[in-house]
Structures are given as C-alpha cells and as structure tokens.
Copies of this chain bind each other. A is one copy, B any other.
Amino acid sequence: MRMTMEQASGVTSLLDELAGYGSTADGGVTRLLYSQSWKDAQSFLAAKMSAAGLEVRYDRVGNLFGRMEGSRKGQGVVLTGSHIDTVRSGGRYDGAYGIAASLAAVAFLRSAYGEPRRPLEVVSFCEEEGSRFPLAYWGSGNITGAYSTGMAQRVVDPQGITLAHAMQAAGFGREDQPECLRKDLAAFVEVHVEQGVILERTGGRIGVVETIAGQRRYVVTVKGETNHAGTTPMAMRRDAAAGAAEMIAMLERAANRAGEPLVATVGRMKLMPNIPNVIAGTVEFTLDIRHISETLLTGFSDAVIGSFHSVAERRGLELDVHAALQARPAPMDPVLTGRLEKICSDGGISYRRMMSGAGHDGQMFVNCCPTAMLFVPSKGGVSHSPEEYTAAEDLAYGVVVLAEMLYDLAYEETLT
C-alpha cells in the first residue's frame, strides 16, 4: 500500500475537529442544511482543502470542492467525498468520515506523488440526509442532474422556510454562482461508515459495496372514526389504531417470509387525536421497504399495500397510501468494485462484498460515471445517534484503501 496506517491516522483528528461544528449537549452532532453550524463546517473544510494545496470552490447549491489539477488535458475528473449535513443529534462519522478520508487521501497523494494524470477532486456534498427539508441528496442530486435548483421554491422545512430562501440566506442560489451539473466526471468513489453490523459480526475491515438497495417510502393514512373509548362497543368501532396495528403486524410477517435482504420498517407513526380515552380517528404511519432487486421490491411493496387495502375494507376504514420516495437499486461499477477487492486482497486487509441497505450519495452517480463505494465497520451498527462509533484503526484502513483506489484512478490508466 502506498499510504501507511500512520499516515492515514490523521483522519481521526480531522474528524474530531469537524465534530465541533454543530456539537450537541448529548454528545452528538447536528448540522442541518444551510444552518450556521453547516456553514461553519464547510468554511472549516474549505480552509483545510486550501491548506492541502487544493483549489477551492463552491457550486450554486453549496457543494464544496477541493481540486488538484491533472496533467493531461481533457481528462475526466475523479471525484471523491461524502456529505457534510447530519440528522438531528447524529453521529460524527456519517458523511463526515467520507469527506475527511477523501481529504486525507488526496492530500497524501499530492504530497507524495504530485500532479495526477486526471484532475482529482474532494467534494463535501451540501446535503444527503433529508433532515431539514423533505428531500434527500440535494447536493449529489444537483451535481448529477436528478434535481435542479428551481425545485427549491417548492420545498419547505417544518418552520415554513422554503429551500430557496434557506439557500439564499446561506449565501447560495445566486445565478452568478457556478452551475451544479457536472458532465466532466470520470469516476466517483465514496467511503462511508457501514451503519450496520455486518462487518463487525463477520470481522471484515472493509465492505466492498456491490449494490445500494432500492427503497420505497410511503406515508400511509388510515381513517376511521373518533369516538369515546368507554361508550363505544367493540363491534361499533372503526378504530384506526387497531387497523394500523393489524397492518404493521402483517407487514412484519410478510417481510420475514420474504427473507434477506428485504427489510421493511414502520418508524414513524401518529395517532389522532392521540388521547388515552378516545378511539383514534386517524393514524398516519410511514412505510420504508428496501431490496437490491427492483422487481422484488416492487412486487413486495405492491403486495403489502394490497393487503393493507383488504384490512381497511374489512374494517370499514379509509386508506390512503402516498408514495413519498422511490429509489431504484444502484449497482456499483463492477470494474471499480473488482479493483477495490484486489486492493484489499493484495494489502492483506480483510474485506467483504456486501449490499448497502442505507442510501448514499453514491447511488446518484451510477448513471453518470463509474461509481464505487466502500464501508468501514460501525460499532454495534449504531448510526444516526451520538453513540455512532468507528475505531481509529478502522478509520485509517478506509483511508489507506481509498488512497490506493484514487491513485489507481487518477494516476494510472485504470479508467479508459
């Protein structure tokens, strides 16, 4: 390996510094899109990129890039990085590690090998989590053309602020700022914490991602009749909570029957009026379903929603199912994936091919350029929590493998 573990260990202090921006009382980090802590974190990274000799620029939505120019004219760019935003009271690794690792790897390559053949850019995506606005991948989506800045007028946060307004208040969204869409990309590589327990349980240092699972997210609204819990006989009820409970129990059984890697989750639920002695008239819950096969994902989702309709009909409930998010499975580039495996294998680093159940910026790039993704272990699989943790050694292994991969892509002739 070109980079030593000691050289790679600097990633830890960079992460520590980054976690100071938006740190919360419970030990977590909150950096919502376009907030002050978000701006401060991007400014901190811009200074670090600049200090590493990279040419710094923001695009129109606030994606931050640090570029090392390539020696050959007209060569596509090798892009690497992750997202700077967090969930509320999230961990210090999710997103941030991918940026810190990319910066550490590129800074090392520049100091050790100087100018690459292809331009090499580190990116800090402005947004991925969908924590502030009901929209995820705002950064990578604008770069890859899935989104356009015009959408920002129609997206509103819980305080009623439009994405457009928040963007402008943070100093972005102006027509004189560089457009986001990139057509000059040769490859994208992202390193991220696994946010699951597979590497930990199997003893792998590196996860080589084959596919990012496709996802369906629905908002299900069950409407019955609000009534007094004491005076309404069981047989006269149209209880939305009892109906929702039957649906959720049914979903879990169906998911268990379908088997891995399908996962299905009801994570948010709201009863109305939500009073102990009142039968719930309305229940709204979310439904999150993921699988690596688009066909199986669609088949399962349709079957579950069909069974929800049967339950609602039998109980005299109204049912509305709103499709809130639909992401197709995103297969990583097989050449790049194979290259990552070879790097691990040659370096004697234990690795495992795996799918990603979580969504990542990487999935936005699969139709634009060859894309690869690697994971490092997450302690206990915990993520989106102050308890998120990855050991320093694992963080360094990720940097070492990433540096090797970026060398291959930008300095060698791996990409044709």
Contacts and interface: CB of A to CB of B under 8 A. Distances in A.
A311 to B, nearest CB: 10
Given A232-B381, A288-B229, A357-B231, A265 B277 contact: yes
Interface string A212-253: 010101000000001111111111100101101110110010
Q: Which of A87, A230, A232 has the most CB of B within 10 A?
A: A230
A236 B197 CA distance: 9
Nearest to A242: B252
A262 interface: yes
Interface stretch (A40-48, A108-116, A266-274, A336-344): A266-274
Interface in A259-298: 260-269, 271, 274-280, 286, 288, 290
A262 B234 contact: yes
Q: Which of A231, A256, A358, A359 has the most CB of B within 10 A?
A: A231
A239 B172 CA distance: 40
A384 B267 contact: no
A95 to B, nearest CB: 14
A234 to B, nearest CB: 5
Given A196-B232, A228-B195, A384-B278, A241 B266 contact: yes
A235 B261 CA distance: 10
A230 B262 CA distance: 9
Given A197-B236, A278-B384, A384-B275, A230 B359 contact: yes
A63 interface: no
Given A230-B358, A248-B245, A267 B275 contact: yes
A284 to B, nearest CB: 11
A194 interface: yes
Given A196-B232, A232-B196, A276-B217, A266 B242 contact: yes
Contacts of A197: 231-232, 236
Contacts of A356: 230-231
Contact of A268 (B196, B198, B275, B288): B275
A264 B246 CA distance: 15
A356 B264 CA distance: 42
A357 B234 contact: no
A5 interface: no
B263 A267 contact: no
Contacts of A185: none
Given A228-B196, A288-B229, A271 B267 contact: yes
Contacts of A229: 263, 265, 267, 288, 290, 357
Given A228-B384, A241-B266, A265-B277, A234 B260 contact: yes
B245 A249 contact: yes
A385 interface: yes
Contact of A277 (B198, B267, B382): B267
Contacts of A279: 265, 267
Given A196-B231, A277-B384, 13 more contacts: A196-B232, A229-B263, A232-B357, A233-B260, A233-B261, A233-B263, A241-B248, A241-B266, A245-B249, A245-B252, A267-B276, A268-B276, A269-B271
Nearest 9 pairs of A and B residues by beta carbon: A196-B231, A230-B357, A245-B248, A229-B265, A276-B286, A231-B357, A230-B358, A245-B245, A242-B252
